[in-house]
Amino acid sequence: MNKADLAEAVMNKLGSTKKAAEDAVDTVFDTITSSMAKGQEVSVAGFGVFAVKHRAAREARNPRTGEKVKVPAAKVPKFRAGKGLKDAVK
């Protein structure tokens, strides 16, 4: 399933137009993205938690040359599945 399929499912469920369903899906994703960009967690009960994880700077090794490379600190998105999602997938 991709974003277009998700919008179509919303359209069918709500009985709305395709444009309204696409706007709804875009709004959800944009809200999650902007909240995470501010460093906030987004928790959806029964589904999961979207969070920002801080990854420390480290030293890695290039597997091809064996040369040491410095990897800078970074913020990365993280998702923890909730109980409802875990149970649905089982």
pTM: predicted TM-score of the whole model, two decimal places: 0.80
For the chain (90 residues), the mean pLDDT of every run of 10, in chain order, is: 95 93 95 95 95 96 94 96 94
Nearest CA among 81, 7, 87 for reference residue 44: 81
Please give the pLDDT value at position 3: 94
> Does residue 47 sit in helix, strand or coil?
coil
What confidence score (pLDDT) does residue 24 get? 94
Burial of 85 (0-12, 13-18, 19+ CB in 10 A): middle
